[in-house]
Amino acid sequence: MNIYVVKPGDSIYKIAQMYNVSPQKIIDDNELKNPDNLVVGQTIVIVTNNQTYVVKSGDTLFKIANQFGVDLVALTKANPQITNPLNLTVGSVINIPLENTNKTTIEVNGYCFPNISEEVLQKTLPNLTYLSVFSYEVLPDGNLVDISNDERLITMARNNNVAPMMVITNIEQNASFSSELAHEILNNPTAQANLIQNVLTNIQNKNYYGVDVDFEYLFLEDREAYNKFLENLKTAISPFGYILTTAVAPKISEDQEGLLYEAHDYVAHGEIADHVIIMTYEWGYTFGPPMAVAPANQVKKVLEYAVTAIPSKKILMGMPNYGYDWKLPYVEGTAASSISNVGAVDLAGEKGAFIKFDNVQQAPYFNYWQNQEHVVWFEDANSTYARLKFVDEFNLGGVSYWTINQYFPQNWLVLNGLYNVKKVV
């Protein structure tokens, strides 16, 4: 797997020649709708039997073999053009034989809304370990607002060896996450017992694999009550073989202030839950200033703290599958528009914009004009690669996507180029 960044004058035919693959394969793999209208700065994922590496100062074949975890003899055979392996030319291209690359096996979760299209879901399921259906909203008495059409998703998931996960949230009907709603349930033993029984019954009746608890914006005073609720829920479902996952805010310290962070106890979640999904996204958000949704430098800070509090193999790092379009100059309180990653590239092509890449945030962006200036931050193959590499760096259990409702082919090409996806059913 190689990632190529389009330059002025490039064409699919020219790129295909560079990597000795067919143009149609590139078009099909990347699902390019406008292959004759490439955008400067756009990423193209090339799926080949070899990965390429550009020689840097100080490199040797031995050093490169160690870096990629390949056999030195196999590396030498893959590069017959090298006449002196002790004197590599800086800037020359080395072929890395993928068949000798030992890929880590990771767990991959994908959140989806019940209205996901069957076509998108069918294409995505081979890349998933878990499918988390969002969401069952809890009521003050511990009852649940039912998802009437989730049986279709559960059946499709299990037919593709993907474990379906029930998701419960403290979202008020036709509203948003409610601190007061969570407070009422967490401090009412009768309501809490009813909620736990309803969760267990629902898992059993609908053939879910487990439950993901996504309670957000909890009061600090409810921190211990939330931990106790998770313990009680785990105790109730574990004897039946069901698993518990929790979703937590992206903290950089245990005592981080703010309603989003304070009641999420990383240490307790790491002890109680089977997996902890860290929502490492929404630095760039609807009502915030323009920036990457998941800046790599910020994500890394969260992970540096997280692995000190949670067993690293329990951590699933959050991965966003969307971007935002802001009007400039940014005015506090104004809303950005959500945009898909594929839609962002299409928009750049339509507006004649060049896509740039921020090396600190490790994310693509571009500017265009429509009545006034706009800036769009989104995800591409290079930003996806940069954050997926944190899985190895921090020895994580895997990743979790928010959400999979819009299909982004390059993400899955990169993911599968780096890792094998674990199946548990």
Distance CA 177, CA 112 (A): 18
Instruction: Spell out the residues 6+ positions from residue 314 whose beta carbon is closer than 8 angstroms to its own.
Output: 270, 273, 274, 275, 276, 397
Q: What pLDDT is recorded for position 101?
A: 55
Instruction: Spell out the residues 6+ positions from residue 413 whose beta carbon is closer than 8 angstroms to its own.
Output: 1, 29, 30, 45, 47, 381
Q: What pLDDT is recorded for position 15?
A: 93
Distance CA 368, CA 39 (A): 13
Q: What pLDDT is recorded for position 421?
A: 96
Q: What pLDDT is recorded for position 254?
A: 96
Q: What pLDDT is recorded for position 264?
A: 98
User: From first to last of its 425 residues, what are the pLDDT tens digits of the chain?
Assistant: 889 999 999 999 999 988 878 999 999 999 999 999 999 999 999 988 667 788 888 888 888 888 887 878 778 877 777 878 778 888 888 888 765 457 899 999 999 999 999 999 999 999 999 999 999 999 999 999 999 889 999 999 999 999 999 999 999 988 999 999 999 999 999 999 999 999 999 999 999 999 999 999 999 999 999 999 999 999 999 999 999 999 999 999 999 999 999 999 999 999 999 999 999 999 999 999 999 999 999 999 999 999 999 999 999 999 999 999 999 999 999 999 999 999 999 999 999 999 999 999 999 999 999 999 999 999 999 999 999 999 999 999 999 999 999 999 999 999 999 999 999 99
Q: What pLDDT is recorded for position 300?
A: 98
**Positions marked active-site:** 216
Q: What pLDDT is recorded for position 69?
A: 78
pTM of the model as a whole:
0.90
CA atoms within 13 A of residue 110's CA, in its CB half-sphere: 29
Secondary structure of the chain as H, E, C letters: CEEEECCCCCCHHHHHHHHCCCHHHHHHHHCCCCCCCCCCCCEEEECCCEEEEECCCCCCHHHHHHHHCCCHHHHHHCCCCCCCCCCCCCCCEEEEEHHHCCCEEEEEEEEECCCCCHHHHHHHHHHCCEEEEEEEEECCCCCEECCCCHHHHHHHHHHCCCEEEEEEECECCCCCECHHHHHHHHCCHHHHHHHHHHHHHHHHHHCCCEEEEECCCCCHHHHHHHHHHHHHHHHHHHHHCCEEEEEECCCCCCCCCCCCCCCCCHHHHHHHCCEEEECCCCCCCCCCCCCCCCCHHHHHHHHHHHHHHCCHHHEEEEEECCEEEEECCCCCCCCCEEECHHHHHHHHHHHCCCCEEECCCCEEEEEEEECEEEEEECCCHHHHHHHHHHHHHCCCCEEEEECCCCCCHHHHHHHHHHEEECCCC
In this structure, the number of other CB atoms found within 10 A of the CB of residue 375 comes to 18
Domains and CATH numbers, the chain: 2-100 (3.10.350.10), 104-320+381-407 (3.20.20.80)
Tell me the C-alpha to C-alpha distance, in Å, between residue 238 and each of 107, 231, 245, 272, 352.
20, 10, 12, 11, 55
Q: What pLDDT is recorded for position 391?
A: 98
Distance CA 186, CA 247 (A): 17
Q: What pLDDT is recorded for position 380?
A: 98
**Nearest CA among 120, 54, 44, 111 for reference residue 88:** 54
Greatest C-alpha distance within the chain: 76
